[in-house]
Amino acid sequence: MRVLVVGQGAREHAIAWKLRQSPLVKEVYAAPGNAGIAAIADCVNIGVADIIELADFAEKLKMDLTIVGPELPLTLGIVDEFQKRDLAIFGPTRLAAELEGSKAFSKEFMRKYAIPTADARVCSSIDEAKAALKEFGYPSVLKVDGLASGKGVVIVGSKREAEEYLRLVFEEKKFGNAANRILVEEFLTGEEVSFMALTDGTKFVSLAPAKDYKKAFDGETGPNTGGMGAHSPAVVLNGETAAEIVKTIIMPTIQGMAAEGRPYTGCLYAGVMLTAKGPKVLEYNCRFGDPETQVQMLRLEDDLADVCLKVARGNLGDTKLNWLKEAAACVVIAVDGYPNDFPKGQEVVIDPIDDPAVTVFHAGTIPRGGRMVNVAGRVASVCARAATLSEALAKAYEAAPKVRFEGARYRTDIGYRALEQRKN
Ligand code: AMP
Ligand code: GLY
């Protein structure tokens, strides 16, 4: 098989790394890829939003399968374009990707199909938002409707904070058209878990749950990011709750999307809060998680190319996935300043790591003048696998300083709460 991976993050590096281990896969391409992916695949300089160019390239090279990493091309309709040309592609169509592309759509959808989620109001003006805030009180959660790279959600603790955010959104248009509408949402408490399933529109198979650490700083403080670390197993989730998530969230979502005439294929990602009243959806993503994929690929025993092709062809059948008993952990090395402004073009050096249990996935690194520089805020995912989660975390943390650049920063508490809970 010849497989194309679309994206340039550590998630796509992990996907390419896993594809490389498949006896079915002869060639791996990435668009645009990164310096780490370039060591194991052929990178072509086509941007993730250049859908027509990507389809032309896949057609010319007769790709047997394309796997899309990020949400942007999915919401722009990359899958529709490939399907029009009879090219196998893993991911949802544009209409199905609205589950992530529009938080107003997904909230209405969950309401219609009685999928448990936080109560919310969709608002198109400052006045509407203020009225909703009166109803929900503080803290409340404000979310821009459209895509905002994980930065469109804030938890506001006071009227002053809320009004400042509403001003940025509606008057300064900080998020442009993505924020023509916003959600004012009830604040939920509990542990978060990332639950994914691969689906061909009717059948589905769950991935090993993972836990993601979204806040920028230790102790779950600071702004939301794309994710600063992860581990699998999630630890905070037992088998009974996982079964409840499948029954109350995953199955009705797949059935509901089919009923809406938007059959969902690809990876369905539910960000779930385990509340005292049961699991509730915080958000859907229409793709694999980042950094969750990095730890899931370390644990997946089966052939990723095989299962993704089955999903793309609509014949998943009763495929089951097997996961190593070992735990996997990931620590994200970011540039100081991320998720806000951060310097780009800094030289990145990764010292040799002589522990076969450790794998470093690059994110947004590019070769420049014989060196390697960063173009993204998250520069690398340092991952490790071991018999226990605490050993996997220890190995990842031991290797983390080997990724060196000016302003390198990482959270020092990934996994600690999960480990604490397990002790209790
Ligand atoms: P989202 O992009 O909607 O997942 O939001 C990003 C992050 O904000 C989530 O992972 C949670 O940590 C937090 N969050 C979102 N919605 C809520 C909510 N209703 N209650 C509490 N925290 C939330
Ligand atoms: N780690 C969260 C996400 O992939 O959106």
Per-residue pLDDT of 244-265, as tens digits, reads 999 999 999 999 999 999 999 9
SS3 133: helix
pLDDT interval class at 182 (50, 70, 90): very high
Most informative mutation of 189, 224, 275, 292 for ligand 1 (most atoms within 8 A of CB): 224
Q: Does the pLDDT of residue 138 top 60, yes or no?
A: yes
β-strand partners of 30: 5, 43
The DSSP letter of residue 268 is E
Q: Does the pLDDT of residue 91 top 60, yes or no?
A: yes
Residue by residue, DSSP assigns 210-248 as BEE--EEETTTEEEE-S-SEEEES-SS--HHHHHHHIII
pLDDT interval class at 423 (50, 70, 90): low
Nearest to 195 by CA among 233, 158, 221, 143: 233
* Gap between the Cα atoms of 145 and 122, Å rounded: 9
Most informative mutation of 122, 281, 283, 290 for ligand 1 (most atoms within 8 A of CB): 283
Residue 212 C-alpha to ligand 1 middle, in angstroms?
12
- Residue-level pLDDT at 418: 85
Please name the residue ranges forming H helices in 113-178: 126-136, 159-166
Sheet holding 65-68, edge to edge: 42-43, 27-32, 2-7, 65-68, 89-90
- Residue-level pLDDT at 422: 73
Least confident interval from 65-69, 90-94, 119-123, 173-177: 173-177
The reported pTM is 0.97
Q: Does the pLDDT of residue 340 top 60, yes or no?
A: yes
What is each CA distance from 418 to 274, 319, 391, in whole angstroms? 13, 30, 13
Q: Does the pLDDT of residue 364 top 90, yes or no?
A: no
Residue 19 C-alpha to ligand 1 middle, in angstroms?
32
Q: What mean pLDDT is reported for the chain? A: 96
The DSSP letter of residue 401 is G
β-strand partners of 5: 30, 67
Domains of the chain are 2-93 (3.40.50.20), 119-186 (3.30.1490.20), 190-313 (3.30.470.20), 327-423 (3.90.600.10)
Residue 197 C-alpha to ligand 2 middle, in angstroms?
14
Q: Is the CB of 283 under 6 A from ligand 1?
A: yes
Q: Which residue in the block uniquely carries the two structure tokens 């990764």?
A: 350
Q: Does the pLDDT of residue 424 top 70, yes or no?
A: no
Yes or no: say if 324 and 46 are a contact pair by the CB < 8 Å rule: no
Q: Is the CB of 63 under 6 A from ligand 1?
A: no
**Measured at the alpha carbon of residue 238, what is the angle toward residues 235 and 240, in degrees to the nearest 5?**
165
pLDDT interval class at 190 (50, 70, 90): very high
**Which atom of ligand 1 is the closest one to the Cα of 280?**
19
Q: Does the pLDDT of residue 168 top 60, yes or no?
A: yes
Based on DSSP, count helices (H) and strands (E) in the chain, helices before strands: 14, 25
* Gap between the Cα atoms of 424 and 421, Å rounded: 5
- Residue-level pLDDT at 176: 87
Mean pLDDT for 272-294 is 98
Mean pLDDT for 76-100 is 98
- Residue-level pLDDT at 313: 97
Helix (H) / strand (E) element for 394: namely helix 389-399
Yes or no: say if 357 and 386 are a contact pair by the CB < 8 Å rule: yes
Nearest to 213 by CA among 296, 129, 266, 290: 290
CA 11, 267, 234, 147 torsion: positive or negative? positive
